[in-house]
Amino acid sequence: MRPLASDLTVRGIRESLRSRSRSAVDVCRDALARIGALDPSLRAFNTVAADRALARARDIDDHPDLWRDAPLAGVPIALKDNICTRGVRTTASSRILDTFVPPYDATVVDRLEAAGAVLVGKTNCDEFAMGSSNENSAYGPVHNPWALDRIPGGSSGGSAAAVAAGLVPLALGSDTGGSIRQPAALCGVVGLKPTYGRVSRYGLLAFGSSLDQIGPLTRTVADAALALGLMAGADAADATSAPEPVSDYTAALTGDIRGVRIGIPRALLEGVDPEVGRAVAAAFDVLASRGAVLVDVDLPHAKHAIAVYYLVATAEASSNLARYDGVRYGFRAPAAGSDGTLKTMYARTRAQGFGAEVKRRIMLGTYVLSAGYYDAYYLKAQQVRTLILRDYDRAFERVDVVAMPTSPTPPFKLGEKTDDPLQMYLSDIFTISANLGGVCGVSIPCGFTSAAKPLPIGLQIIGKPFGEETILKIAHAYEQTTEWHKRKPAFTA
């Protein structure tokens, strides 16, 4: 089976297309062949749009003058299945949207296609992006390419597994509490959550509207920087998109991090898996050897981030998911119309259309917003969110970025935590505070466990609002010094 490029990167594919050693159709066929061969074991894709992709690749080959300088011309990409694509089924891995075909494209889809990207399919995820293991999908879990009996992380598990297995060099995910960074870490790829507002959310099926951001998963930091530059920027269709000018993220990758101040929240790191702790400590040493200055910082309220998150995000979700009621789109419970009232139809449709985790979160969110409990839970959580924000503000007065593990453990076994939702939530401890604070974060590969089947470990670098240049520059400098990102899962050869 042919790899998409010798290094499986966007840059590698673009070089082979520019030198005309391969055509866009060749690359597209190779991607589809890899998906056909490997995806039955991975289950990373909900939908493969083979005909659409080949037609698009052919169009790019037929119009070389139009596409020669387009940064993603002929590059196969995949999108998490909660990002709307006109004419291509978009399910959010939920039974309630099993047949939903959006009549419009998300802004990120418009922007990446304008740059020449070839959409090959939609990736599996936790239902409505609610989960940390990809086990909450109506289409079954995604399997980790490094060990098929383990979780790929979630909720963007399909996007992470697809990039790790070399099915596509670039996939998009969405990150509400770590859903890009955590699966990137557990699959050994790069995952970037931009600052809230940096990338338009238009066309992203909403989960937690004050937390959600779309971002790229790639094999290299340079590819993530390229993708961010193409997607970022204000959008009239999303009132929360930010007017801040878009930097040249690729130009920021100078390799020079001398004097950059990296904060390490040591108190927060107690209790992480020993192998994760060792890998991350070694990564700090690498950054210091490149001239970065390591500084201890305190984020005293970060330990409350999970509690705050599961009050704030569920409240927002209960409101956002009220729209799925069997009227305008998606599934309607059979026979609900003839034997009952509108209210019965709603309740039966939602009971049959949503999976257990989504129901749990809608229930929790409805409760914390309900009369008599609002002040004690929702309002209180919003106040603690302010304290978490202030922790970051205070830390960023002294340091340029904060670094810590992405996940407290390596990928666990499928089924290991499905019976205990609270234990599952605790695996998001290092990622959630960046969403509550609206800041940016990137996860990069920083090592492997010593098991017979080595499992990837991720380093997370969190930056100031609109500080993507800095976190990408540091991540890139680390990547240049290490070889972790070059490893490929044996299963994908």
Partner 1 sequence: MAPAFTREQVVTIASLANLELKPEELDLFAKQLGDILAYAAEVQRIDTTGVPPTAAVVTRHVSDRADTIGPCLDRDLALANAPDGSEDAGMFRVPRVIG
Determine which residue in the list 114, 322, 451, 490 makes contact with partner 1, applying CB under 8 A.
322
Q: Which residues pair with 218 in a beta bridge?
A: 170, 190
Cβ 406 to partner 1 shortest distance, Å: 21
Q: How far is CA 55 from the centre of its chain?
A: 28
Residues 411-430 that bind partner 1 (CB under 8 A): 421-422, 425
Shortest spacing between CB 359 and partner 1, in angstroms: 6
Give 7 or 428: the residue with its C-beta nearer to partner 1. 428
Among 239, 267, 451, 490, binds partner 1 (CB under 8 A): 239
Query: Does residue 65 contact residue 8 with C-beta atoms inside 8 Å?
Result: no
Q: At its nearest, how many Å lie between partner 1 and the CB of residue 407? A: 19
Number of chain residues interacting with partner 1 (CB under 8 A): 76
Active-site entry in 155, 427, 433, 443? 155
- Six-digit token string for 413: 């076994």
Please state, as a whole number, how many other Cβ atoms lie within 10 Å of the Cβ of residue 67: 18
Question: Can you tell me the distance from the alpha carbon of 24 to that of 57, in angstroms, rounded to the nearest whole number?
Answer: 5
Separation of alpha carbons 121 and 80, rounded Å: 9
Q: How many CB atoms lie within 10 A of CB 346?
A: 19
Whether 96 contacts 22, CB under 8 Å: no
Residues 433 to 462: which contact partner 1 by CB under 8 A? 437-438
Name the residue nearer to partner 1 (CB basis): 232 or 336: 336
Q: Are strands 440-448 and 456-463 parallel, antiparallel or unpaired?
A: antiparallel
Q: Which of 269, 307 has the CB closer to partner 1?
A: 307
**Smallest distance from the beta carbon of 28 to partner 1, in angstroms?**
28
Residue 80: active-site member: yes
- DSSP per-residue letters across 334-380: TTTTTSS-HHHHHHHHHHHHS-HHHHHHHHHHHHHHSTTTTIIIIIH
Site for partner 1 in 266-305 (CB under 8 A): 301, 304
| 106 in Cβ contact with 86 (< 8 Å) | no
Nearer Cβ to partner 1, position 277 or 337? 337
340 belongs to the binding site for partner 1 (CB under 8 A): yes
Q: Which of 80, 464, 473, 488 does the annotation list as catalytic?
A: 80
- Out of 364, 429, 457, 462, name the contact with partner 1 by CB under 8 A: 364
3 near partner 1 (CB under 8 A): no
Smallest gap from Cβ 361 to partner 1, in A, equals 9
- Give, as ranges, the residues between 367 and 396 that touch partner 1 (CB under 8 A): 367, 370, 376-377, 379-387, 389
CA distance 358 to 355: 6
- Residue 101 near partner 1 by CB under 8 A: yes
Do the Cβ atoms of 133 and 178 come closer than 8 Å? no
Q: Assess 348 for contact with partner 1 (CB under 8 A).
A: yes
Tell me which of 100, 273, 290, 418 binds partner 1, using CB under 8 A.
100
Q: Closer CB to partner 1, residue 111 or residue 301? A: 301
179 annotated active-site: yes
Pairing state between β 170-175 and 76-80: parallel
Nearer to partner 1, 69 or 419 (CB): 419
481 scored as a contact of partner 1 (CB under 8 A): no
Q: What is the C-alpha to C-alpha distance for residues 25 and 54, in angstroms, rounded to an integer? A: 6
By the 8 A CB rule, do 116 and 70 touch? Answer: yes
Shortest distance, position 245 Cβ to partner 1, whole Å? 12
**Catalytic residue among 159, 179, 427, 443, which?**
179
Closest distance of CB 368 from partner 1, Å? 8
246 binds partner 1 (CB under 8 A): no
Backbone angles phi, psi at 83, to 5 degrees: -110, 120
- In angstroms, the Cα distances linking 76 to 59, 147, 167, 208 are 14, 25, 9, 29
Site for partner 1 in 171-210 (CB under 8 A): 196-197, 210
The DSSP result for 57-88, as a single string, is HHHHHH-HHHHTT-TTTT-EEEEETTB-BTTB
The CB-of-327 to partner 1 minimum distance in angstroms stands at 5
DSSP 328: S
Within 426-468, strands assigned E span: 440-448, 456-463
Is 464 a residue of the active site? no
Nearer to partner 1, 115 or 381 (CB): 381
Candidate ranges 7-15, 98-106, 109-117, 184-192; the one touching partner 1 (CB under 8 A):
98-106
Considering only 116-124, 255-263, 363-371, 469-477, which stretch makes contact with partner 1 by CB under 8 A? Answer: 363-371
Residue 67 contacts partner 1 per CB under 8 A: no
Could you say whether residue 111 binds partner 1 (CB under 8 A)? no
Q: In what order do the strands lie in the sheet with 213-218?
A: 45-48, 118-123, 76-80, 170-175, 213-218, 190-193, 440-448, 456-463, 401-405, 261-264, 293-296
Catalytically active residues are 80, 155, 179
